[in-house]
Amino acid sequence: MPADTLSAMEQPQSLPPWPVVEGAYVVGDPAAPVAVCALTSDELLAPIAALPGVAIAGKVYTANLGIERIVTNVAANAAIRFLLLCGKESALFRPGQTLCALVENGVSETGEIVGAQGYQPVLRNVTHARIAAFRQQVELIDWTDEHDTDLLRARIADLAARTPGPFKSGETAAGASGAPVGDQAHFTPIRLGGARREPLAYDPKGFFVITVDRPAREIVVRHYLPDNTPAHIARGRTTESLALALIREGLISQLSHATYLGAELAKAEAALRMGARYEQDRPLRAEPAPPAAPAPATAATAPPMPDIPIAQTWEQFSALTTGDAVNVVVAVTEQPAEHHCAGTLAEPQEENPFQSFRRTTHVLHVQWKPETRVAMGTAADIAPGALVRARGVLQAERTVHAEAIAILTKVATIT
């Protein structure tokens, strides 16, 4: 059904392959009459797909490509006669409202969904004939914001009991024009590989040597001029920050060189995170780093580095998916409800990642329970102006379900 790929259950061999395009879905009984779109609520997919009467349960985030996949997959299965919306709506993209507008109003000549309120609600890659067939085929039931599986089970049973039978239309899975469905119909394949226009050694700006400083948890990039004279050095923890620094300083003049550096920096970052061995121009080796030497028995003159992971940057956080572990610092700007605060992500500064943070514009939400452990303060300290560290699990809409919270307001700075 919708946007991103998840695993699907094995299809009965008596039926043709379906769904016909990939998406974020779980397949139930392909011969059942109800398709369920849980909007952004990933946790509903598996339990709903297992219910009698459900052909497929999926999620969708966007008001364009995701909906195109819904239309294509539903239109390819004549057994589906109902489309049930449930789960949490995206406040920005409004895919639920957009689906309602599509079924009720259709699209304009240029593919814009009439009456849709989401972001870029336009369908460019499905035919008008397929859209028309989809609108005739399904009855849409809007239960947006409903998460109760018992209520959904009863509603789905009611729908399955009154199905009118398979949909009969001239519109087929191949579309009115006979064109193939799916992404391959709209993209021209390109052959992999190719020759560099210039050898990397001849980049007039010089060359780079990349290493990993594991004790410091940093990637080190040393820049040499073409005559091997040392020129620049950069240290960082992410591919993006280092690549942008090299571009800013004008140290790369060839696209092929930039491509090579991006791949090598990504390998170095992966090695740093995974404990693999990194050697430039060699494949990563999945070998653990040697254990750190034990601390001396004598008392240290300086406090040890905290034995906790560094808070995630926006780049790291944005790569997470629902259910992943989260460890972020948030500058609180509002408290919309009890046990719920919102604020902007604060990224750790490389020179002091545990006490110095840089404010970003990326809004996060943190929710917790009365029994959630709060360190270095109390829950009453979580108010606008506070700086908090939250560890827990990522849920939809950039919401962190916190399992532990630390108040950093008095011990850290933010710029």
> To which residue do tokens 């993006």 refer?
240
Quick: pLDDT tens for 70-86: 999 999 999 999 999 99
Report long-range pairs for 103-106 (Cβ below 8 Å, ≥24 apart). 103/135, 103/138, 103/140, 106/131, 106/132, 106/135
Asked whether the beta carbons of 387 and 346 are under 8 A apart, the reply is: yes
pLDDT confidence tier of residue 177, bands split at 50, 70 and 90: very low
Band (48; pLDDT cuts 50, 70, 90): very high
Distance (Å, whole) CA 54 – CA 32: 5
- For 72, the token pair is 């294509």
| pTM attached to this predicted model | 0.51
pLDDT, average across residues 124-153: 94
Span 356-400, pLDDT tens digits: 898 888 899 999 888 888 888 888 889 888 999 999 999 888 999
3-class SS letters over 3-20: CCCCCCCCCCCCCCCCCC
270-274, 287-291, 304-308: the lowest-pLDDT one: 304-308
Note whether 410 and 375 are within 8 A (CB): no
The model's pLDDT over 179-202, given as tens digits with 9 standing for 90+, comes to 434 444 566 777 876 665 555 457
Closest of 341, 319, 352, 358 to residue 407, by C-alpha: 341
Contact call for residues 364 and 330 (beta carbons, < 8 A): yes
Residue 361 to residue 3: CA distance in whole angstroms: 26
Supply the mean pLDDT for the chain: 83
